[in-house]
Amino acid sequence: MDTENNQFMNYNNPDKKMVIEDFFMKAVLGKGSFAKVILVKKKDNGKFYAIKVLKKSKLEKQRHIDNVIAERNILVGVNHPFVIQLHYSFQNSEKLYFVLEFCPGGELFNLLHKAQKFTEDQTRFYIAQIVLAIEHLHSLNIIYRDLKPENVMIDFDGYIRITDFGLSKNNISNHEKTYSVCGTPEYLAPEILTMQGHEKSADWWSLGALIYELLTGLPPFYNQNREVMYELIKNQNVNIPDYISPICKDLIYRLLQKNPENRLGKNGAFEIKNHPWLQDVDWEILLRKEYRPPFIPILDNIVANFPVDFTQQPIDSVDPFQSVKQLNQNNNIGGFTYNQSQNREMDFQ
């Protein structure tokens, strides 16, 4: 049981190694192939965070370890109001921990699932923020590569955070191509599927797919048969329902161009920001979070916007604990540990 009034750790030592015992475990928020996400409360400051826990045994392949380090480096290097913040990262002999800001509104996916589809005004509010976030990532030579409703979180104020950089590619300059095939099937750009190499504009294809999904409830080329879906992505023109406005249709068509050379955003995010569907957005007001969001989380139950399939699981079932006594320095992954509050990287772990 939590004993939140029992402050038994010495928190005044700035070089104290962070351990999982520094947190009270509150609820399971989600699970994926490699990671589990747990709501925690830090013992020394009483703040809530979302801890992403990865088992080292599941990251045995060097490529997976490289992806985790790349994700950590991106999170440390990116500072944007619409990108998730990394507060700490640390490890022990069995696990890696990303301590991220907690977004109580849950995933945009869950919000969409409840609503079934959004209006164009609602969609524009979320998409405009995503455009600014992707624009910032591209300015840092990062291709995001996993834009989907599950990776867009809603914060305390109803604004978004892009999260999960496990598939992102760093150090890709303008018009430089990368050739790995990765991403979520429904949102993959054709050039990724054909392995012709892809640039930053692959993210703008995913943006077009996301706009379509927010307005209709499904991705544009969705099919339960994955191979059929891939063929549709590569060869089929998108069919947009008539209830979507002509200018929004035009934006979707321009983003879902099979040939990346013809895709809106090829020359930069300004092409998308200047499209008529987004022309009334005041980007500075948006950055200052002065628009009223269509949804603001009610905080009576802090996990109300997360699936009960996860939040009602016993905390023990995710086995987040690994005592500092079992720390094995020989199993450490170098260059992982980070402490934002000290604004420096820590080399001792």
Cα–Cα distance measured from residue 315 to residue 310, given in angstroms and rounded to the nearest whole number: 10
Cα–Cα distance measured from residue 306 to residue 320, given in angstroms and rounded to the nearest whole number: 19
At residue 66's C-alpha, the angle toward residues 64 and 69, to 5°, is 115
Active site residues: 146
Task: For strands 152-154 and 106-107, give the pairing.
Answer: antiparallel
Tell me if 333 sits within 8 A of 65, measured CB to CB: yes
Distances (CA, A) of 239 to 32, 184, 236, 270: 32, 21, 9, 26
Task: Please give the DSSP secondary-structure letter assigned to residue 237.
Answer: P
52 is in an annotated binding site: yes
The amino acid present at 256, given as its one-letter code, is: L
Number of Cβ within 10 Å of residue 270's Cβ equals 11
Which residues are annotated as part of the binding site for ATP?
52
Which residues are annotated as part of the binding site?
52
